[in-house]
Amino acid sequence: MQALRIDVRSSYEMQRIGELIGKAVQGGEVLALYGDLGAGKTTLVQGIAAGMGVDARVTSPTFILLNEYTGAAGRRLVHVDTYRLAEEIILAEAATFGLEDLLTGEFGAKDVVAIEWADRIEALLPDDVLRIEITAGDDDPDVRTIRMTASGERSTLLLENLQI
Ligand SMILES: Nc1ncnc2c1ncn2[C@@H]1O[C@H](COP(=O)(O)OP(=O)(O)OP(=O)(O)O)[C@@H](O)[C@H]1O
Ligand SMILES: [Mg+2]
């Protein structure tokens, strides 16, 4: 399976979908999140963290590029948010944090990287990435559509393993 579309009706459901993703990851996946302000990217990542067995409260990294969380089975969730950072800072910080290594597949086999506003570092993304686009509905403010597209072996496997 290469693509999947899901309609969700509440932030609770968004978290539940995130949990299913968090349970299905094996490590080594890059999840690129797209969507406007308040679309639900962080909400989804909170669910992913829960699904990976992260105990800590997940908030968006605000004045830094990324937060790291340890989940079950030694898996690590790396949560990146590029929104508030200028492009030069992103690139400089990317080098400092080894983000380029993370994104070019040099990362630990147990790491999962989730990136909010991935469009801002599109050029840094690896070939194998699961793109997750969240859009709001026109009428009901709580309705969102999630579109997932896989572009490689790992991301395709993740979509296939999703129990939705
Ligand atoms: N179906 C839904 N899915 C996700 N969030 C929803 C939904 N319905 C309502 N919400 C609300 O929308 C808001 C989403 O905020 P969230 O921080 O997850 O968005 P974001 O995409 O990360 O925004 P930002 O671009 O500022 O980082 C939350 O207040 C949440 O409660
Ligand atoms: Mg956010």
- The amino acid at residue 87 is E
Average pLDDT over residues 103-125: 81
- Rounded CA gap, 93 and 99, in Å? 8
Tell me the three state secondary structure of residue 58. Answer: coil
pLDDT for 56-91, tens place per residue?
A: 999 887 767 788 899 998 899 999 888 877 777 777
Taking 90 as the threshold, does the pLDDT of residue 112 lie above it?
yes
Q: What is the pTM of this model?
A: 0.93
Whole-Å CA distances, 4 to 12, 67, 118: 19, 27, 19
All structural domains of the chain:
3-159 (3.40.50.300)
Q: How far is the CA of 75 from the centre of ligand 2 (A)?
A: 22
Residues with CB in 5 Å of ion ligand 2: 41-42, 60, 116
At 124 the pLDDT is 81
Average pLDDT of the chain is 89
Average pLDDT over residues 120-130: 88
Going by CA atoms, what residue is nearest to atom 29 of ligand 1?
A: 38
